[in-house]
Structure 1
Amino acid sequence: MTCTLIGLDEWVGMDKDTPGSCQYVMHEWLYKPASIRDEQIIEFNARNPDLTGECKKMDRFIAEHGPIDLAVLGICINGHFGLNEPGTSFRQTSHVVDLTETTKRTAQKYFPEKAALEKGITLGLKHFLEAGRLILIASGKQKAQVIKRIIREDVSEQIPATIAKIHRNSTLLIDQDAASEL
């Protein structure tokens, strides 16, 4: 049995050699320590001038290999995951996105110096609704307000993580700090 890891997202103009990029973080913190080979990974090329083609490549890969078996994703303070910002359609496949100010600000923690972040490329919410298993993770007091909204409010594209409520096999993992407003 072969395991393929699908890169969730990337900041447009960056790649795995850019310190702080999504791919850099995944390669340094997961792929290298776990001895995952490059041929087991499919990722967006966020430096490709044809970003639409990159989206089609990822959508085609998922269509040809069946839905994602397991998606494990972190929730941002505005309720997004991946780079599926508030307002993203639950039917959206891979796409290029204009980043919100919240995302631009909170993402700076990954970079050694201030990074100019304007756009991202990401798998869409449709891919996660179709996944065999969806695990969403949140930790820290800064996530407490959005966790309260995810749990107490109706399913809404304004809070992308609420799709966990309509997914057939989802889990929300939170620590005590993230649960502090419940």
Structure 2
Amino acid sequence: MSKFQRMRDLMELKKFDSQDELVEQIVKIVSDIISKKPDAVLCFACGETPRPVMDKLFEVRKNGEIDFSRVRLLGLDEWIGVGRGTVGSCSQMLYDDFFSPMKFRTDQINIFDGLSKNLDVDIKNINQIVEELGIDFVLLGIGMNGHIGLNEPGFNPDEKAHVVELSDMTKKVMAKYFDQEINLQQGITLGFSQLLSAQKIILMATGERKAKIVKEIVNSEPNNSLPASMFKQSEHESFFFIDEAAGAKL
């Protein structure tokens, strides 16, 4: 049984008794969106937090419950200097965890290339896609410093896709993704204005290690020092899904 609570401003907090229950609810939401709009534009963060959702969506596809053949996929972010061939890159995780198992075609996928020689063109292309098609759904994890995508504390909330300097916290945490030592200083990410424009937004936090930052987000006023808090100003449907462990300090 989930517990529902309206956070200050516009983001709704939903606390679930288990991660499995949380994942089931997200999958239901995604399925409903695609049923109503088969060519929906979906944006998924990569990494450990959203992986169970991707696994469950694969089960849904395998069982033939939802037709994913017309959806469009947007990448959220990428480290500059690595690509799909590097274990730990965002593109590698998205392909291995989601795109390949789901058998998405290349024409359905629009992600950043961290090895691009012309990032300005990549940024322009992604911005054009978002401007023309919009974003119907975005699933986001939360960094230990509250960053969203690679929108770090102190970010400009009006920006579109852009290159960012990685914070010390992010550089420390990102090391767990790679099977080799890699010195990365920059990333590329969708901008906050684009994420806020999504028709439905879900922030997802699971596990005890996220309990501290979850408490900070819930108790803070919207401010760009804590990027995740800015979703309290969203004009669209915005939810903060947490499990029992992530909500332990509330």
TM-score (norm 1): 0.95
| Residue identity in the other structure for 1:73 | L
User: What's the CA shift string for 1:46-70, capped at 9, x where partnerless?
Assistant: 21232222211110111122x2000
Residue 224 (structure 2) pairs with residue 118 (structure 1): no
Distance in structure 2 (CA, Å) of the matches to 1:33 and 1:148: 35
CA apart distance, 1:140? 2.0
After superposition, the CA RMSD in angstroms is 1.1
CA apart distance, 1:142? 2.0
Structure with greater Cα Rg: 2
Other-structure match for 1:63: 131
Other-structure match for 1:173: 241
Residue 119 (structure 2) pairs with residue 51 (structure 1): yes
Where 1:105 maps in the other structure, the secondary structure is: helix
Identical columns (%): 36
Q: How does 1:75-90 map to 2 (within 5 A)?
A: 75-90=142-157
| Residue identity in the other structure for 2:248 | S
Residue 171 (structure 2) pairs with residue 104 (structure 1): yes
Where 2:140 maps in the other structure, the secondary structure is: strand
Distance in structure 1 (CA, Å) of the matches to 2:84 and 2:140: 19
Where 1:172 maps in the other structure, the secondary structure is: strand
| Residue identity in the other structure for 1:55 | I
Unpaired stretches in structure 2, ≥5 consecutive residues: 1-37, 39-69
Distance in structure 2 (CA, Å) of the matches to 1:102 and 1:94: 21
Other-structure match for 1:35: 103
Asked if the contact 2:153/2:227 (under 8 Å) is kept, the reply is: yes
CA apart distance, 1:12? 0.3
TM-score (norm 2): 0.70
Distance in structure 2 (CA, Å) of the matches to 1:47 and 1:112: 18
Asked if the contact 1:13/1:47 (under 8 Å) is kept, the reply is: yes
| Count of aligned positions | 181
Asked if the contact 1:14/1:21 (under 8 Å) is kept, the reply is: yes
Match for residue 204 of structure 2 among 129, 134, 137: 137
Unpaired stretches in structure 1, ≥5 consecutive residues: none
Distance in structure 1 (CA, Å) of the matches to 2:157 and 2:136: 18
Match for residue 73 of structure 1 among 140, 151, 160: 140
> Which ranges of 4 or more aligned residues in structure 1 deviate by more than 6 Å?
none
